[in-house]
Chains A and B, each alone.
Chain A
Amino acid sequence: MEKHHINALKEIVGEENVLTSAEDLYCYSYDATPGHAHMPDAVVSPANTAETSKILKLANENHIPVYTRGSGTNLSAGCVPTKGGIVLLMTRLNKILEVDLENLVAVAEPGVIVADLNKEIASLGLIYPPDPGTVATATLGGTVAENAGGLRGLKYGVSKHYVMGLEVVLANGDIMNTGGKNVKDVSGYDMTKLFTGSEGTLCVITKIISKLVPAPEAKKAMMAIFKDLDNAGKAVSAIIAAKIIPATLEIMDNATIRTVEDYAKVGLPLDAEAVLLIEVDGNPIVVEKEAEKVMEALKANHADLVQIAKDDAERDKLWAARRAALPALAKLRPTTYVEDATVPRNKVPDFLREVSSIAKKHNVTIGTFGHAGDGNMHPTIVCDIRIPEEMERVYQAMDEMFKAAIALGGTLSGEHGIGLGKLPWMEQQHGLVTMNAMRSIKRALDPNLILNPGKLVGEC
């Protein structure tokens, strides 16, 4: 980027909102994904849609890459500025513009922290369900762009199930509106869905119209310990077959159980092959009934120990093990890859077994926990990125792991997105025809390839 571009950017957003010192640029060279870092040429922080539009017009005319960024908590290297250029920091657009109670819709700017939106609507008895692990830090725009999910995904789905409309700025600076407050809307291509999860490669999101849902009145949590992984798998299937959709249905494998126990001493048996944590929510009467049925399913499938939380304190206790999973694993070694390969839920035990044998084969530490109910697993690889020999083994294990997920009819990502991290396997999952179609869309909307170039669909 040349000096006059920087000056032009300063004219658009004001001097103090363009960062160019080596120190500041270094702080925007990474996100939460290990192994990817690159310095941008400038970090630009617009205040509104009009400024965003001007920035993109300038970037497009001058072929300057633009990487949209919120809090930078993503796990796919999605906002690493790999080709230099502009990091477009959206955190100043942080207003909740409207909470429409008659339509149960919120309109918010992309820089709003997801947890802040939920705090705002809690008193109205509403929730915005997508709740990624970083919900207290992540921005709404970032979660929509990455199509983030969370613990409640089984019952409530991921971001795309809540986005009803968007205001976006296209690569050339044009401002475009998609969708709206209509619950039913079948007019034309579904651009809202296309942009949700487009990971900053097709547009910059500047406004989000999202669906809100009534907060569940009651919750009930249960935990079951299984000495046999297959029984855990069967229990999951039995719960679903009993037509119960829990809000949360989590699993931890033996490697994770041992690590969690070592770290948090929550009383898990070290020889257990799986722990299931289940939470049902909704109307209090229904919740009681569903909890009973879940307990029956667990017992019928030979759970070795079943606990049910009687009150909030007990619920917290049950959750403690699940909450400790990532911290416990992350503390083992310096580098932590939290992957999110996903398989159809009836394949969860098969996938866990595959991951465990891949880990043994390559002598790599992988603990797997995740959302058993929706098949979204988090094989978490802990290693030390500074040891090249170890990293060779890690990359091989990762490669086999993703191939295993695809072979089981799964997908590379249940909620984190593709970015750069999972790009190498995209064609294996989707095939050349689909990849070409995706690249055509990219080229049509961003002919100069300035928006997050090289990510999601690779080089075009």
Chain B
Amino acid sequence: MTEKITAKDINEQDKALLSDLQDALANCMKCGNCMEVCPVYKEVGKEAAVARGKLSLMEGVLKGSIPLSAAFDAAMSKCVSCKACTAKCPCGVPADELILRGRQAAVKARGLHPIKKKVFALLKNRHLFDFSLRMAGIFGPLSFKKIPGKMAALARFPMPGMDYKRVTAPFASTPLRSQYPEVIKVDRPTMRVGFFTGCTINYIYTDVGQSVINVLKENNIEVTMPSMQHCCGTPVYMSGDVDSAKILAKHNIETFDSYNFDYIVSACGSCTEAFRIEFPHLFHDDPKMSAMTEKLAKKTYEISEFLIDVVKIDKTKLGPVNATVTMHDPCHMARGIKVTKQPREVLKSIPGLHFVEMKAPDRCCGSGGSFSLGNYELSRKINDKKIADIASTNADTVVTSCGTCRMHLTDGLFQNNMNQDALHVIQVLDRSYKAGHQK
């Protein structure tokens, strides 16, 4: 990482990569409105941390005013991809996507961060990935210390890319998809859905997956978890490694297309966004893949959205859950697929449940998917604000719809000596169905 790479070098490597960016970047009028909403800028306080600065840096590289240096790379990586800048921008500049293009340029030029490189190489090999994470589940207790009563664990040894005091969740001893047959039958199914589990639910938060299956079964829906499914690719895509993201996307598209499901559900905003927005984007210039991708995109739903908008669940079957609950909207739910009403409707349907809205529920929790791997201290600072907002609601439970948000919230609650539960929305609904049976 010593020599400086110029715009000329990049353009020689890949002319198409940066040239069409110029128009998009020119649309930024540098008004600075993004500063109001950027969680990273709020902590760092430097222009290079906010969208306006990042887009300027990209312009600078394209003009040849500054080199595509390691510092450029570092600036691009300091973004949680929360899309708040894009939502705020008066000129409609898709800053979040442009920053990804900046990362892409950096990846092309100087390769990935060494830790991410290792993880992504593993990701691309489905069998090895599956094997490693199963092993992690089996041997995990050796390296992680479980925190009593929670889906939470502390590392016993220093781990690559992991802060030693960070609380994560233990890997499951048996992944979700190994706990069930591929097709989970119900009597007289009303529809057949494919469940895209995503990695966090399959290997870590199997409790969420179980709840999804229970809830779908309660509604007479046949659930299939295609055994060949693989990571949606969002973490890879967000890091600028588009080639790897395409490999993963193509694999998933072909796998799910082969089943001809009525619907595809996922219990994660980012996974849903991948199927609905990222995949069509990745293959927009490939006619054959594009048709298949668009078809799948139309049938893909996030679980709360699916239950409210498509299934229209029978709320009379729900039993009481006595809890005070507040909700964190993951960025990819709020600004990615724009699903915020349905999870609230799920919660408000539950008898006995007292729902309290926190201040700015859609402000990023600082997890940013794999962002927190490389920027733990910064992600903690962003998270502390979220934890303070949770504390001020006096809720005993915080729910969300994303695995990495849940993990980061759990860590934040632990670091701030709080004992609230952090759960997925669907787990609370599952409890309510169970309570309904005991009525």
- A, B assembled together: yes
Tell whether, in the assembled complex, residue B26 and residue A330 are in contact, meaning their CB atoms are under 8 Å apart: no
Is B228's beta carbon under 8 Å from chain A? no
Tell whether, in the assembled complex, residue A134 and residue B60 are in contact, meaning their CB atoms are under 8 Å apart: no
Is B92's beta carbon under 8 Å from chain A? yes
A-B contact pairs, 23 of them (CB 8 A): A22-B67, A23-B57, A23-B75, A24-B48, A26-B56, A26-B60, A26-B65, A28-B47, A30-B30, A30-B56, A72-B47, A73-B35, A91-B45, A92-B45, A134-B31, A137-B32, A137-B35, A137-B36, A330-B91, A331-B27, A331-B92, A335-B29, A336-B29
Q: What distance in Å separates the Cβ of B247 from its nearest Cβ neighbour in chain A?
A: 32
Proximity bits, B32-76, A CB within 8 Å = 1, else 0: 110110000000011110000100110010000111010110010
Is A123's beta carbon under 8 Å from chain B? no
Tell whether, in the assembled complex, residue B45 and residue A384 are in contact, meaning their CB atoms are under 8 Å apart: no
Is B90's beta carbon under 8 Å from chain A? yes
Bound-complex Cα distance A29 to B47 (A): 10
Q: What distance in Å separates the Cβ of B94 from its nearest Cβ neighbour in chain A?
A: 12
A window 121-163: CB within 8 A of B = 134, 136-137
Is A435's beta carbon under 8 Å from chain B? no
Tell whether, in the assembled complex, residue B32 and residue A330 are in contact, meaning their CB atoms are under 8 Å apart: no
Bound-complex Cα distance A71 to B45 (A): 10
Tell whether, in the assembled complex, residue A71 and residue B32 are in contact, meaning their CB atoms are under 8 Å apart: yes
- What 11 new A-B contacts, CB under 8 Å, besides A24-B46, A72-B32, A134-B33? A26-B65, A26-B66, A27-B46, A28-B47, A29-B56, A92-B45, A134-B31, A326-B90, A331-B90, A336-B91, A384-B26
* Chain A: CB-nearest residue to B92: A331
Is A19's beta carbon under 8 Å from chain B? yes
Q: Contacting A27 at CB < 8 Å: which of B33, B56, B90, B91?
A: B56
Q: What distance in Å separates the Cβ of B52 from its nearest Cβ neighbour in chain A?
A: 8
Is A21's beta carbon under 8 Å from chain B? yes
Q: Contacting A334 at CB < 8 Å: which of B27, B46, B48?
A: B27
Is B12's beta carbon under 8 Å from chain A? no
Q: What distance in Å separates the Cβ of A71 from its nearest Cβ neighbour in chain B?
A: 6
Bound-complex Cα distance A121 to B70 (A): 44
Q: What distance in Å separates the Cβ of B74 from its nearest Cβ neighbour in chain A?
A: 8
Number of interface residues of A (CB under 8 A): 33
* Chain B: CB-nearest residue to A382: B29
Q: Name the B residues within 8 Å of A331 (CB-CB).
A: 27, 90-92
Q: Name the B residues within 8 Å of A21 (CB-CB).
A: 71
Is A273's beta carbon under 8 Å from chain B? no
Known: A30-B30, A92-B45, A330-B90. A23 touches B23 (CB 8 A): no
A window 29-76: CB within 8 A of B = 29-32, 34, 45, 71-73
Proximity bits, A13-27, B CB within 8 Å = 1, else 0: 000000101111011
Is A386's beta carbon under 8 Å from chain B? yes
Q: What distance in Å separates the Cβ of B226 from its nearest Cβ neighbour in chain A?
A: 42
Q: Name the A residues within 8 Å of B26 (CB-CB).
A: 334-335, 384-386
* Chain B: CB-nearest residue to A92: B45
Tell whether, in the assembled complex, residue A32 and residue B30 are in contact, meaning their CB atoms are under 8 Å apart: yes
Is A447's beta carbon under 8 Å from chain B? no
What DSSP secondary structure best describes chain A's contact surface? loop
Known: A31-B30, A32-B29, A137-B35. A327 touches B48 (CB 8 A): no
Bound-complex Cα distance A23 to B90 (A): 25
Chain A CB within 10 Å, residue with most, of B36, B45, B57: B36
Q: What distance in Å separates the Cβ of A79 from its nearest Cβ neighbour in chain B?
A: 11
Tell whether, in the assembled complex, residue B32 and residue A32 are in contact, meaning their CB atoms are under 8 Å apart: yes
Q: Name the A residues within 8 Å of B65 (CB-CB).
A: 26
Bound-complex Cα distance A45 to B65 (A): 24
Known: A31-B30, A334-B23. A23 touches B66 (CB 8 A): yes
* Chain A: CB-nearest residue to B88: A136
Residues of B within 8 A of A (CB): 23, 26-27, 29-33, 35-36, 45-48, 53, 56-57, 60, 65-67, 69, 71-72, 75, 90-92
Tell whether, in the assembled complex, residue B46 and residue A19 are in contact, meaning their CB atoms are under 8 Å apart: yes
Q: Contacting B48 at CB < 8 Å: which of A23, A92, A134, A136?
A: A23
Q: Name the B residues within 8 Å of A30 (CB-CB).
A: 30, 56
Bound-complex Cα distance A21 to B46 (A): 13
* Chain B: CB-nearest residue to A45: B45
Tell whether, in the assembled complex, residue A22 and residue B29 are in contact, meaning their CB atoms are under 8 Å apart: no
Q: What distance in Å separates the Cβ of B79 from its nearest Cβ neighbour in chain A?
A: 14
* Chain A: CB-nearest residue to B91: A330
Q: Name the B residues within 8 Å of A32 (CB-CB).
A: 29-32
Bound-complex Cα distance A28 to B46 (A): 9
Q: Name the B residues within 8 Å of A72 (CB-CB).
A: 32, 47
Tell whether, in the assembled complex, residue A27 and residue B57 are in contact, meaning their CB atoms are under 8 Å apart: yes
The 10 closest A-B pairs by CB, nearest first: A27-B47, A327-B90, A334-B26, A27-B53, A23-B71, A136-B36, A73-B32, A330-B91, A336-B29, A137-B35
A window 92-125: CB within 8 A of B = 92, 115
Q: What distance in Å separates the Cβ of B30 from its nearest Cβ neighbour in chain A?
A: 5
A window 160-199: CB within 8 A of B = none
* Chain B: CB-nearest residue to A386: B26
Tell whether, in the assembled complex, residue A23 and residue B35 are in contact, meaning their CB atoms are under 8 Å apart: no
* Chain B: CB-nearest residue to A39: B65
Bound-complex Cα distance A331 to B26 (A): 11
Proximity bits, A310-336, B CB within 8 Å = 1, else 0: 000000000000000011001100111
Bound-complex Cα distance A385 to B23 (A): 11
* Chain A: CB-nearest residue to B50: A27
Q: Name the B residues within 8 Å of A26 (CB-CB).
A: 56-57, 60, 65-66
Tell whether, in the assembled complex, residue A73 and residue B29 are in contact, meaning their CB atoms are under 8 Å apart: no
Bound-complex Cα distance A380 to B178 (A): 62
Bound-complex Cα distance A446 to B85 (A): 39
Q: Name the A residues within 8 Å of B56 (CB-CB).
A: 26-27, 29-30
Q: Name the A residues within 8 Å of B27 (CB-CB).
A: 331, 334
Q: What distance in Å separates the Cβ of A15 from its nearest Cβ neighbour in chain B?
A: 14
Q: Contacting A71 at CB < 8 Å: which of B35, B48, B66?
A: B35
* Chain A: CB-nearest residue to B89: A327
Bound-complex Cα distance A29 to B60 (A): 11
A window 294-317: CB within 8 A of B = none
Q: What distance in Å separates the Cβ of B21 from its nearest Cβ neighbour in chain A?
A: 13
Q: What distance in Å separates the Cβ of B5 from its nearest Cβ neighbour in chain A?
A: 13
Q: Name the A residues within 8 Å of B32 (CB-CB).
A: 32, 71-73, 134, 137
Bound-complex Cα distance A92 to B44 (A): 11
Proximity bits, A331-369, B CB within 8 Å = 1, else 0: 100111000000000000000000000000000000000
Q: What distance in Å separates the Cβ of B76 from its nearest Cβ neighbour in chain A?
A: 10
Tell whether, in the assembled complex, residue B66 and residue A22 are in contact, meaning their CB atoms are under 8 Å apart: yes
Tell whether, in the assembled complex, residue A330 and residue B72 are in contact, meaning their CB atoms are under 8 Å apart: no
Q: Name the A residues within 8 Å of B23 (CB-CB).
A: 334
Q: What distance in Å separates the Cβ of A353 from its nearest Cβ neighbour in chain B?
A: 27
Q: Name the B residues within 8 Å of A330 (CB-CB).
A: 29, 90-91
* Chain A: CB-nearest residue to B53: A27
Q: What distance in Å separates the Cβ of B161 from its nearest Cβ neighbour in chain A?
A: 24
Bound-complex Cα distance A16 to B31 (A): 26
Q: What distance in Å separates the Cβ of B85 from its nearest Cβ neighbour in chain A?
A: 12
Bound-complex Cα distance A202 to B52 (A): 29
Q: Contacting A23 at CB < 8 Å: which of B29, B45, B69, B91?
A: B69
